C-alpha cells in the first residue's frame, strides 16, 4: 500500500462480481491502516455506471465468479479457496447468467462522490 486513499463503488445487486469479497478486502485494508471507503448502491448491477447500457439485463452466456472464494497462493497464483487448486474458469464455482445494466441514481451518486473526493483530496475549488 502506498498510503494513497482508496475509494470503491459497488452495486449490491451485482451478481457478476459479488460484493462480499470486496467487503472483506476493505476490512483487511482498514485493519492494516489504509484510508479506504467502500460505497454500496442497493439496486445497482454490474456496469451500473455505463451510461450507454440499458436497464439491467441478464447475459445467459457470461461467466461469473460470484460464488467462488479465491485466495492468493505462492508466487501470486490465484487459488480456489475451497479446493486449494489453481483457479480456472472451469472450476465448479463458476456460473453463468449475471446481469449488467445502467442505474441512473447510483451513477449520479458515484459521480458526485468522486468529484467531492477529488476536490477535497487535491484541495480544488469548485
- A 10 A CB-CB count for 56 gives 21
One domain for residues 70 and 9:
no
One domain for residues 4 and 49:
yes
One domain for residues 55 and 10:
yes
One domain for residues 83 and 124:
no
One domain for residues 69 and 16:
no
One domain for residues 87 and 106:
no
The predicted structure's pLDDT at residue 1? 74
The predicted structure's pLDDT at residue 126? 61
One domain for residues 34 and 55:
yes
One domain for residues 89 and 123:
no
- A 10 A CB-CB count for 49 gives 20
Query: By residue range, what is the domain housing residue 56?
Result: 1-62+97-126
CB 66 within 8 A of CB 100: no
**Averaged pLDDT in 10-residue chunks for the chain of 126 residues:** 93 95 94 97 97 94 94 93 96 97 98 96 86
Domain count, the chain: 2
What does the radius of gyration of the chain's CA atoms come to, in whole angstroms? Answer: 17
Amino acid at each position: 500500500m502506498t498510503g494513497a486513499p482508496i475509494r470503491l463503488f459497488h452495486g449490491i445487486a451485482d451478481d457478476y462480481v459479488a460484493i462480499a469479497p470486496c467487503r472483506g478486502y476493505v476490512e483487511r485494508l482498514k485493519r492494516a491502516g489504509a484510508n479506504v471507503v467502500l460505497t454500496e448502491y442497493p439496486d445497482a448491477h454490474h456496469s451500473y455506471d455505463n451510461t450507454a447500457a440499458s436497464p439491467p439485463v441478464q447475459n445467459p452466456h457470461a461467466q461469473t465468479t460470484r460464488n467462488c472464494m479465491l485466495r492468493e497462493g505462492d508466487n501470486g497464483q490465484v487459488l480456489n479457496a475451497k479446493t486449494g487448486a489453481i483457479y480456472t474458469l472451469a472450476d465448479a464455482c463458476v456460473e453463468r447468467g449475471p446481469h449488467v445494466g445502467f442505474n441512473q441514481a447510483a451513477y449520479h451518486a458515484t459521480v458526485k462522490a468522486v468529484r467531492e473526493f477529488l476536490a477535497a483530496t487535491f484541495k480544488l475549488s469548485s
